[in-house]
């Protein structure tokens, strides 16, 4: 029986040896593999339509992380410096991708949907320090009409206008804050 097992193993090898893999043309632009829509890739900290951060510094993502890869340090918002619509914001936010297992438990724990995962799977870097993503690398880019925090709330008078005034699921958010014409022009 042992000799037939060896030939079966060679059969698998010969069937797959000439099969083309997606990594053959990988470094070339335009030949990258398209991932599934629910792929767990690099994390992203999202923003509200006026540019304020969705993260309220609750640290639930760090508590839910089984690999202890997330570090969050919350701070209080003031009237002069407002980074999120809530009472607090994530002053320090770090994800150590040397520890992260990309399981998605952190995004399940986030009550404000501030943390999501993108389809970006290119996480390799040249040093260990660069594998610790800080808040500036994790924040979503500013879109036209958004203003860089800190600034006053533009979508309502308090956090209830943000958290309870969201459109139903599946409907695009059409609310807009005042557009900064200097940012749109540049």
Helix (H) or strand (E) holding 63: helix 60-64
* 33 in a labelled binding site: no
Q: What percentage of the chain carries pLDDT values higher than 70?
A: 79
Helix, coil or strand: residue 123: coil
Contact present, 27 and 97 (Cβ < 8 Å):
no
* 108 in a labelled binding site: no
- Is the model's pLDDT at 179 over the cut of 60? no
User: Which strands, in side-by-side order, build the sheet including 88-96?
Assistant: 70-76, 88-96, 132-134
* 66 in a labelled binding site: no
> Which pLDDT band, with edges at 50, 70 and 90, does 178 fall under?
very low
DSSP secondary structure, 75-93, as one string: EE--SSS-SSSSSEEEEEE
* 140 in a labelled binding site: no
Of 7-16, 86-95, 155-164, which has the strongest mean pLDDT?
A: 86-95
For 60-82, the pLDDT digits (tens) are 999 999 999 999 999 999 988 99
Residue 11 carries which DSSP code? H
Q: Which residue has the tokens 């880019």?
A: 141
Domain segments of the chain as ranges: 31-159
CB atoms under 10 Å from CB of 61, counted, come to 25
Higher model confidence: residue 126 or residue 27?
126
* pLDDT for the residue 165: 63
In CATH, which of 3.20.20.140, 3.60.20.10, 3.40.640.10, 3.30.70.3270 is domain 31-159?
3.30.70.3270
Contact present, 96 and 43 (Cβ < 8 Å):
no
* 55 in a labelled binding site: yes
């Amino acid at each position: 029986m042992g000799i037939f097992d060896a030939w079966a193993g060679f059969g698998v090898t010969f069937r797959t040896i000439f099969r083309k893999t997606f990594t053959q043309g990988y470094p070339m632009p335009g030949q990258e593999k398209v991932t599934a829509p629910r792929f767990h890739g690099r994390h992203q900290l999202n923003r509200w339509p006026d540019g304020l951060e969705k993260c309220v510094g609750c640290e639930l993502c760090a508590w839910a992380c089984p690999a202890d890869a997330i570090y969050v340090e919350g701070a209080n918002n003031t009237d002069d410096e407002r980074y999120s619509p809530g009472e607090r914001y994530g002053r320090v936010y770090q994800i150590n991708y040397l520890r992260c297992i990309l399981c998605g438990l952190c995004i399940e724990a986030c009550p404000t949907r501030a943390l999501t995962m993108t389809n970006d799977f290119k996480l390799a870097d040249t040093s260990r320090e660069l594998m610790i993503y800080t808040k500036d690398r994790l924040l979503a880019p500013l879109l036209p009409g958004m203003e860089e925090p800190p600034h006053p709330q533009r979508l309502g008078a308090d956090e209830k206008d943000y958290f309870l005034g969201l459109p139903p699921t599946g409907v695009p958010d059409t609310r807009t804050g005042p557009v900064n014409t200097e940012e749109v022009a540049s």
